[in-house]
Structure 1
């Protein structure tokens, strides 16, 4: 069956028919189970309540911005995009979003010229930037 025909057939079935599974045959040999159960490796449709929300506190826009900057720096192909996405995930696992946002703001303000940018070059701002640099170094080791 081609994929198009299979999709058309599935679209015509009622939802209840898709959810039903045939009754197991008692005479049939037992099914081989994958380690972890029948749903091992499956991606849940809805995140579980036990999922650590601190790993997903970065807004999509911040993740996309990081990935675009990473792609511009490292090359624009699919493998690099995968590595850049991995990188922001590692950074998100190390730094809370508030710390990431503060450090990114300091770094972007340091690029400006004039008296205003000198406010972001004082030692008090260095701690947050150093934490971000350490997180980025860890991400580079893990993902690149």
Structure 2
């Protein structure tokens, strides 16, 4: 079994199926993200930051923080704009309009905050 498959199995067991509660017992504002979306984010995060086992937890922490402040549909839109913001040529024109730039900026700021809070290096850099 590859390390990627093992990580996927571990994530399926570790990711919460229900919203988290605050320490005081009040329900936290956590948006319902599908498990597949969370796993894809964690695997992408690990691709960017290293496939050390500790990054399973750090990247899971990051998607949990993002999910706490962003509905899933907004996450998909913003992360897509962010991913393709540097796509060149005519095909990338849709990702360079003002609305796309604003969504990219929002997502990258939210992701940077989540990375900082979870102990991950800058987005797009491999942690050693």
TM class by shorter chain equals 0.5 to 0.7
Q: Which has the larger radius of gyration?
A: 1
TM-score, length-scaled by structure 1: 0.58
1:135 to 89, 110, 114: 110
1:110–1:120 contact (8 Å) kept in structure 2: yes
- 3-state SS, counterpart of residue 85 of structure 1: helix
1:114 to 89, 95, 99: 89
Q: Which has the higher contact order (CA 8 A, sep 6+)?
A: 2
- 3-state SS, counterpart of residue 55 of structure 1: coil
1:95–1:135 contact (8 Å) kept in structure 2: no
1:86 aligns with 2:61: yes
Mapped partners of 1:140, 1:88: distance in 2: 9
Mapped partners of 2:93, 2:18: distance in 1: 44
Aligned length: 97
TM-score, length-scaled by structure 2: 0.65
- 3-state SS, counterpart of residue 86 of structure 1: helix
Q: Please give the root-mean-square deviation of Cα atoms over the aligned residues, in Å.
A: 2.3
Mapped partners of 1:64, 1:104: distance in 2: 14
1:95–1:132 contact (8 Å) kept in structure 2: no
